[in-house]
Amino acid sequence: MIEAALTGGFSHAPTQSARAFRAILDALSRPGTIHDVTGAAPPAPLSCAAGIVLLTLADGTTPVHLAGEADTPETRDWITFHTGAPLVAAEQATFAVGTWDALHPVDRFAIGTPEYPDRAATLIVECPALAATGPRLTGPGIKDHASLSLPETAAFRANRALFPLGFDCIFTSGHRIAGLPRSTIVEET
């Protein structure tokens, strides 16, 4: 194991993970809102936000897929040490981490089943920036409409057409997160 894997986790896990969980919950329940998270320092190329999402949501029962440049020995060791999450192929993942391009094709990720729609994957999409601009978002958790700087719209529109099946997304950039659950309607502006 690489020595750097032993550092960068939460220094006070109960408090920091509770705060992070609240921010993740808020981001997914109010699509288009952007939240700041702090408290972890994962190895590059993972952002602080992506590391915090994994520290908060992943454990020994949640398979993680690392896509593209996110799949490094340092990242693998860090996730394994801090969460115990097994690292798996895309088709088996509960969580998948990477840039939007690295996560493609997104139709390889689990979308749940009619009996168990909760068995869908959550994509942790690393972005260069997050902003409340871009495609128009409507649906549950949004009063009138919201906007979010999404990497594209077609895949999210196709995902919404599968509802109640489909994947959910948590967008990360630096210390910021935003959520886009499968129930959100995405329209070009």
Check: pTM over 0.85? Answer yes or no: yes
Condensed to tens digits (0 to 9), the pLDDT of residues 109-155 reads 999 999 999 999 999 999 999 999 999 999 999 999 999 999 999 99
Strands in 64-66's sheet, in edge-to-edge order, are 34-36, 176-180, 168-173, 122-126, 95-99, 64-66
**Calpha distance 58→62 (Å, rounded):** 6
- Tens of pLDDT, residue by residue over 62-88, are 999 999 999 999 999 999 999 999 999
Give 8's pLDDT tier (boundaries 50, 70, 90): confident
pLDDT at 1: 56
Ordered by where they begin, the domains of the chain are: 12-181 (3.40.50.11310)
User: Residue 103 above 80 pLDDT?
Assistant: yes
Peptide bond into 105 cis (omega under 30): yes
Residue 42 has pLDDT above 80, yes or no: yes
Give the chain's largest Cα–Cα span.
Answer: 49
Q: Is the pLDDT at 2 greater than 70, yes or no?
A: no
Question: How confident is the model at residue 9, as a pLDDT?
Answer: 84
